[in-house]
Amino acid sequence: MPVLHCWHVERFDHFIQVSSKTEILKLGSDYGINIRSIDNYIYALRKAFEAGVDYKMVGVKTALAYQRILKFNNTSSERAQTVFEALLREEVINTGDIKAFQDFMMHRVLDLAREFDLPVQIHTGLQAGNGNDITNSNPTHLINLFMEFPEVNFCLFHSSYPYGGELSVLAKNFPNVFIDMCWTPVISPAYSIRYLDEWLETVPANKIMVFGGDYSVVELVYAHSVFARRIVTRVLTDKVRTGYFSEEEAKYFARKLLRENALEIFKLKGHSRGAENIAALNRPGRLKEWWDIHNSTQGFVRDWMVIGPFPFDEGLDGNHPPERELKMEEVYTGMNSTIGWQKTETGPEGYLNFISLFNQDDAAAVDMIGMAYAYTEIASPDDREVTLTLGSNDGAKIWLNGEIIYNVHVGRSAIADQVFLKIHLKKGTNKILAKVENLGANWGLYMRICDYR
């Protein structure tokens, strides 16, 4: 009898929420891996993830808010390895170290979600049953993940009840945050009506999904869908009555809220939000040429030496040690502590995420205001003119072989290929130093060399 593969989401919480050698070895055994190191363990997670993808997994789900706070710090590999080795030795581990290891593994799950381009569903707000700590599930705990994984779409479950106002701001401010109202219509129709009415005014309507059954009994799924449709009808009828929407607009949004948004976000039945659906990006011309570059991973500068954070001081016109000397072995006084150069490699998408680098093990706050430096070298076989593209959050100052080629103070989100610069590469090694300011929240850099072989 053939095995039926169906669209589904999977949890990997069992890889995150481990606290003993027995659990670790059992997970390895499940996937035919003899776990002797943390790398073996991460490989077992990958095998589980790939098995899910092969079985038509269309998303990842976590319900850890029932057991712990949703604040997942960016634990360093060194600390995670230390805790993991202690678990294998069956030593007594304190709760802080257990949480740090769980935080590390959540980041590894999100690495895979990013690699396989899958949305992540997170239980927020009200937990089923009695005696749970509602503050654990406040969606604002997740802000650092939204910043560290801008390529991952996060679907926040249950309208974050009772944190609807916070959810409104998160979905409005973060392009990768979506509202999933599953369960909410039966938790509180009044709450659902109030916040759907508000969200249609504050959040893009293509980021809201109203219905999700969350049941194993089909009759209850249907009953829940009736609740959801009544709530959508009530809210959209009021919007038409007050003139906020036309009747045709209301019908359009009803389809989006109850069906089409979910199909697009989870890429079901041929639906997606890809560029193939945007006519302007498929017509010959400069816009298509830009899109072809932007939609490629070719040419990104991925290998960097990074140091920071330094105080903001005079901004891009200030002068910190990396501008005076490039000594990779030196350490300096940074914004919060002594800092040194660290080697890093971006993912294929080319995003150098300073928040991830500087926020390890609670070393800094995600909303730090300061300066970061990134250094790389480009080898050229001859003298040539090339195009360097840049995207930064926020402004940036760029030196090429000691000469300033870009210096713009601006508050903006980092998007690859925001700026195109014609530059000259000399034969041999070319030294590039980037200084990137942070005015708050996200902090990162994209750099790409085009026309270069």
List, for residues 57-87, the tens digit of each pLDDT value: 999 999 999 999 999 999 989 999 999 999 9
- What band does 361 get if pLDDT is binned at 50, 70 and 90? low
- Cβ proximity of 224 and 213 under 8 Å: yes
- Cβ proximity of 42 and 108 under 8 Å: yes
**pLDDT: which is higher, 43 or 274:** 43
Residue 434 pLDDT more than 60?
A: yes
CB neighbourhood size of 215 (10 A): 14
CA distance 180 to 387: 42
CATH superfamily assigned to domain 293-450: Galactose-binding domain-like (2.60.120.260)
**Domain spanning 8-265: CATH 3.20.20.140:** yes
- Cβ proximity of 134 and 127 under 8 Å: yes
Tokens of 240: 């038409």
Q: Do domains 8-265 and 293-450 have the same CATH topology?
A: no
Contacts 24+ apart (CB under 8 A), 2-5: 5/54, 5/55, 5/56
Residue 453 pLDDT more than 60?
A: no
Q: What pLDDT is recorded for position 56?
A: 92
**Residues facing 331 on adjacent strands:** 340
Residue 364 pLDDT more than 50?
A: no
In angstroms, the Cα distances linking 67 to 96, 181, 348 are 14, 22, 34
What region, left, alpha or beta, does residue 243 occupy, with left being phi > 0 and alpha being psi -120 to 50 degrees?
Answer: left
**% of the chain exceeding 70 in pLDDT:** 96
Strand runs (DSSP E) across 31-73, as ranges?
A: 57-62
Per-domain boundaries in the chain: 8-265, 293-450
CA atoms within 13 A on the CB side of 130: 0
CB neighbourhood size of 160 (10 A): 29
Average pLDDT over residues 167-172: 97
Q: What pLDDT is recorded for position 367?
A: 55
In tens, the pLDDT along 104-154 reads 999 999 999 999 999 999 999 999 888 789 999 999 999 999 988 988 999
Report residue 196: phi and psi, to 5°: -65, -40
Average pLDDT over residues 362-382: 81
Residue 439 pLDDT more than 50?
A: yes
Helix H segments across 154-278?
164-173, 184-187, 189-202, 218-241, 247-255, 261-265
Residue 365 pLDDT more than 60?
A: no
pTM, rounded to two decimals: 0.83
**pLDDT: which is higher, 16 or 275:** 16
